Amino acid sequence: MRLDIATVCLSGTLDDKLAAAARAGFHGVEIFENDLVVSPWSPGEIRQRCADLGLSIDLYQPFRDFEAVPPDVFAANLRRAERKFDVMAHLGADTMLVCSSVSPDAVDDDDLAAEQLHVLAARAAGRGIRIAYEALAWGRFVNTYEHSWRIVRRADHPALGLCLDSFHVLSKGSEVGGIKVIPGAKIFFLQLADAPRLRMDVLQWSRHHRLFPGQGAFDLSAFLGAVAATGYAGPLSLEVFNDVFRQSDPARTAVDAMRSLLVLQEETAGMRVADLPVVPAPDGYAFVELTAPDPAGVLGAMGFVYTGQHDSRPVQLWHQGDARLVIRPGTDVRIGALGVATADPLGAAQRAERLLAPRLSDMDYDDPGVRAPDGVGVVFCRPENDWMADFTPADPALVNTCGITGIDHISLTAPFDDFDQIALFYRAALGLEAEPEAEFAAPFGLIRSRSSADRNRRIRIALNVAALRRGDWAPAVAEPQHIAFTSDDVIASAKAMRELGAPLLDIPGNYYDDLLARFDFSAERLTVLRENSVLYDRDEHGEFLHFYTRMLGSRVFFEVVQRIDGYAGYGVANSPVRMAAHRQFRLTHG
């Protein structure tokens, strides 16, 4: 299926946009009128530039406020349309988008709208052009696809059909099942956009908050499935108005856009992407790679055991239970890579590459891997742990001392501009399912948290963003990361680590006073939590106990968690407490 993108989705000049679309692998573009108007190139030069890049121009848009108007306005609109047909002839575009009118000149008269659109279609047909009529969600009288289809049927001209835009359909809450009765040949163009669920004016929602498929709350697979059921054979095109995208690197945005379309096709019944490997089921974290200047102090105090040095690379392996950390020398502490266990490492890597992730160098890892959009490596390993044979064994008598059994989840913080594309990448590349998004007021601003996990909850990734600080989670802490380890007894783990001198984070007493008000605790249990700075949460499934280390370096800390009776969350309600405690420690200890 042909994949297109509207130039309005991307930042920069028209040349920037076309080059980015071509590099990302798009087949064609919609030329947004404003982009043409400000371009120094003539329409003929734009046509040649697209041809040189291997792009077709599949839609010219938008033509506004045409139908159901008085005779004098109608005559002026026809003159305006003829001039646009001249432009389209030079562009080599054969379809023009006509939006339902919002003009104060328009009247609520379907017969008149159909009559005038019939005349327009006849004029267009004489020039080899088709008219795709679209119901704007905020159209003055025509604002649903059902209404626009009634008018197109009444107009009854072969050069007049529909443009269906997922935003205009889904933002109105329209049922998509009705699309299936429309003949596919009368759907001239299809535009796709996702969006978060917001309670606001629909025009402002559309103009500023659209997203690429899979990044919002709309059921685009159901929408696309309904369109596909009609026999529609035209392009799948993205039309996304988004303030961030229009300020971002167009090359990165175009890659994100293409990835979203590939995933949407995969998730839509009856569709497939021939060369996109099926995601192999992940089998947990094989390891997490950290750069660190001196790991022995903190890791040893947390009960981790030095396993050995790599045979050919300057990295060490530390482990405790099934939690394995690969340590690479560095001046600061940060997460460099995630090792994901899978029965098909090569297939998993090929899938991620088909989703436009760059391949990791063979010089760094023996197993195949890719670089995620946030710069973190994703390395795919077999679950049998045969990769550990590359490390020279240390003393086999060393044992786990602090009760850590494995890795529960990884938490990353994304820059504001990249949050949506990073979240989509991890979900798509690793076959994760999105979990409910959380939002909370932190000491330094509003934080959004979006988590995803595989069906067996062996791989969990929580992605956070500061909504206004563009990635700074607190003063001097840019884009923090943390690893959450599992324990069968968090209280015992906390006590053991304190005895070994681990830098655990102290939680203020006010938190425990509030905890007593919120939950029915015995005095003894609350005392144990308070003495060990263990935090608590509860959901409909079970309980969650967890504690943290202080910040290690400029951005990384550890967490130890215990899930009881199927608790599914991440203790988000406690995040502001942890952030304030980290800040207080930095203020008092530098």
* Distance, CA of 454 to chain centre: 16
Whether 360 and 377 have beta carbons less than 8 Å apart is answered as yes
Distance CA 282, CA 217 (A): 25
* Number of residues that make up the chain: 590
- Residue 266 annotated as binding site: no
Cβ atoms within 10 Å of 178's Cβ, excluding its own? 14
Whether 4 and 30 have beta carbons less than 8 Å apart is answered as yes
pLDDT of residue 538: 94
Which residue, 165, 195, 273, 211, is CA-closest to 421? 211
The 10s digit of each residue's pLDDT in 451-475 is 999 999 999 999 998 876 554 556 6
pLDDT of residue 476: 64
Distance CA 441, CA 466 (A): 10
pLDDT of residue 384: 72
Q: What is the pTM of this model?
A: 0.92
Type of residue numbered 428: A
Question: Domain 3-267 is in which class?
Answer: alpha beta
Q: Cα separations (Å) of 362 from 285, 313, 367, 370?
A: 20, 12, 8, 11
Count Cβ neighbours within 10 Å for each residue of 321-351 and write b for 16 or more, e otherwise. bebbbbbbeeeebbbbbbbbbbebbebbbbb
What are the structure tokens assigned to 341, written together?
């266990």
Task: Give the burial class of 47: count Cβ atoms within 10 A of its Cβ; 0-12 exposed, 13-18 middle, 19 or more buried.
Answer: buried
How much helix, strand and coil, in percent to the nearest 5, is found in the chain? 35, 25, 35
pLDDT of residue 415: 85
Report, as ranges of residue numbers, the positions in the chain whose pLDDT lies below 50. Answer: 471
Whether 177 and 134 have beta carbons less than 8 Å apart is answered as no
Q: Does residue 436 have a cis peptide bond before it, meaning omega lies within 30 degrees of 0? A: no
> CA torsion sign, 421 to 426 to 427 to 428?
positive
Cite the DSSP H helix spans in 406-472: 419-430
Q: Where are the domains of the chain?
A: 3-267, 282-589
Which residue, 435, 567, 411, is CA-closest to 490? 567
- Residue 309 annotated as binding site: no
- Residue 283 annotated as binding site: no
- Residue 239 annotated as binding site: yes
pLDDT of residue 394: 61
- Residue 408 annotated as binding site: no
Distance CA 308, CA 291 (A): 16
- Residue 559 annotated as binding site: yes
Question: CB-side exposure of 498: number of CA atoms within 13 Å?
Answer: 15
Q: Nearest-5° angle of CA 140, CA 137, CA 94?
A: 95
pLDDT of residue 7: 98
3-state SS class at 2: coil
Distance CA 359, CA 313 (A): 19
- Which 8-state DSSP code applies to residue 374? T
- Residue 65 annotated as binding site: no
pLDDT of residue 172: 93
- Which 8-state DSSP code applies to residue 418? G
Q: Which CATH architecture has domain 282-589?
A: Roll (3.10)
What are the structure tokens assigned to 23, written together?
């590099």
Whether 33 and 64 have beta carbons less than 8 Å apart is answered as no
